[in-house]
């Protein structure tokens, strides 16, 4: 029986990682000392994973606006609609759980399942128009996105090894919320079985 009393009950032990902060959620350092660059989508949510200021300098004003819109949409737009739909369907979850690899957006402890809601650009959604690279400094951005993708893959496999079932929902998919809900609830039913 898996404890759902609190996240201290998880088997995943972040203390084995270098750079782990022991002061809980108030620290400002990234949890992972080896992070290449924190994702701007994670900035400003009190996660302690702020934007890499060196990287922000390279962002054009219009791109910066796009990123900031994405930051806001995280709690007000598509991700919220998915959360609302799941809640109405009877699922209970925790949000943005830093104790798990990759800080999953939605965590269902009882089902031992996690949902990532990924921005298509930063996480490199293959074949997606929202993932098109900017025209300038293409190689720079490609390297950033490839690093994010490989980190995502590593975190997914860490979660699986720790006994979690992960699923990724792409930002562009949320244009059709009902379809996403079907895909996610199918996944959760399998996790429950």
Contacts to Zn ion by CB under 5 A: 120, 125, 128, 130, 170, 172
Query: Could you count the other beta carbons within 10 Å of the beta carbon of residue 150?
Result: 12
Judge contact between 170 and 128, C-beta under 8 A: yes
How near is the Cβ of 146 to Zn ion at its closest, in Å? 16
Judge contact between 165 and 114, C-beta under 8 A: yes
How near is the Cβ of 153 to Zn ion at its closest, in Å? 17
- Measured from the CB atom, the residue of 97 and 120 that comes closer to Zn ion is 120
- Measured from the CB atom, the residue of 112 and 125 that comes closer to Zn ion is 125
Query: What is the separation of C-alpha 75 from the centre of its chain, rounded to a whole number of angstroms?
Result: 13
Q: Which of 42, 79, 40, 47 is nearest to 63 (CA)?
A: 40
- Measured from the CB atom, the residue of 31 and 125 that comes closer to Zn ion is 125
Q: What is the CA radius of gyration of the chain?
A: 17
The pairing of strands 94-95 and 165-170 is: unpaired
How near is the Cβ of 149 to Zn ion at its closest, in Å? 13
- Measured from the CB atom, the residue of 1 and 132 that comes closer to Zn ion is 132
How near is the Cβ of 53 to Zn ion at its closest, in Å? 27
Handedness of CA 122, 125, 126, 127 (dihedral sign): negative
Only one residue has tokens 């025209």, namely 135
- Measured from the CB atom, the residue of 168 and 191 that comes closer to Zn ion is 168
Phi, psi of 128 (to 5 degrees): -100, 135
How near is the Cβ of 78 to Zn ion at its closest, in Å? 11
């Amino acid at each position: 029986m898996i404890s759902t009393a609190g996240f201290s009950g998880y088997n995943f032990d972040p203390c084995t990682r270098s750079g782990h902060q022991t002061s809980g959620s108030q620290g400002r350092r990234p949890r992972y000392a080896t992070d290449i660059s924190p994702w701007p989508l994670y900035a400003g949510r009190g996660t302690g994973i702020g934007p890499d200021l060196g990287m922000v300098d390279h962002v054009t004003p219009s791109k910066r606006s796009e990123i900031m819109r994405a930051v806001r949409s995280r709690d007000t737009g598509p991700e919220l609609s998915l959360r609302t739909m799941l809640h109405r369907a009877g699922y209970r979850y925790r949000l943005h759980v830093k104790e798990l690899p990759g800080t999953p957006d939605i965590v269902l402890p009882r089902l031992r399942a996690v949902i990532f809601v990924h921005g298509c650009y930063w996480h490199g959604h293959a074949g997606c128009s929202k993932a098109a690279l900017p025209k300038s400094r293409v190689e720079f951005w490609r390297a950033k996105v490839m690093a994010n993708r490989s980190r995502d893959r590593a975190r997914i496999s860490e979660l699986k090894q720790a006994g979690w079932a992960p699923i990724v929902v792409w930002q562009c998919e949320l244009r059709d919320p009902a379809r996403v809900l079907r895909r996610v609830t199918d996944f959760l039913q399998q996790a429950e079985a």
